[in-house]
Amino acid sequence: MFVDASALVAIIGEEAGGSELAGRLDQGQQAYTSPVALYETTLALVRILRVSIADAESIVSEYLQRTGTQIIPITAEIGIAAIHAFERFGRGRHPAQLNMGDCFAYACARSLGVGLLYKGDDFGQTDIAAG
């Protein structure tokens, strides 16, 4: 499954629903994320946990290592797929209101042929399978 920044923030930041998401992540499937999700997660944790960027980056890195989450590269094909995701589900175009990071998460999951682990209601309004 592809792990969106919203799920990583909920799990690492111990937000409501985070333990349920962590349980789904621990079910033995290979987990993936992207540099875009790492960026979003790190900056959110700086704000939520009130830590430095270096500390948040370390916390995220340790979590990804512990869970065996693989960071995939953003290819040109994924970039184009993210543009198409915005065309279909982006803010101002669709009730899902996907932002840039969401569109990249959607495109990454699609390119891998896996479900998407996320927190919130936005992806549920698209055609992506939940992870």
User: pTM of this prediction?
Assistant: 0.93
How many structural domains comprise the chain?
Answer: 1
For residue 108, tell me if it sits in a domain.
yes
For residue 32, tell me if it sits in a domain.
yes
What's the pLDDT tens digit per position in 82-104?
Answer: 999 999 999 888 888 899 999 99
pLDDT at 26 over 90: no
Containing 82, the helix (H) or strand (E) segment is helix 76-89
Mean pLDDT, residues 6-33: 93
Q: What is the CATH number of the domain that holds 70?
A: 3.40.50.1010
CA dist., res. 68 & res. 46, Å (int): 23
pLDDT at 126 over 90: yes
Q: Amino acid identity of 58?
A: S
Phi–psi pair at 47, nearest 5 degrees? -70, -50
For residue 102, tell me if it sits in a domain.
yes
CA dist., res. 5 & res. 61, Å (int): 13
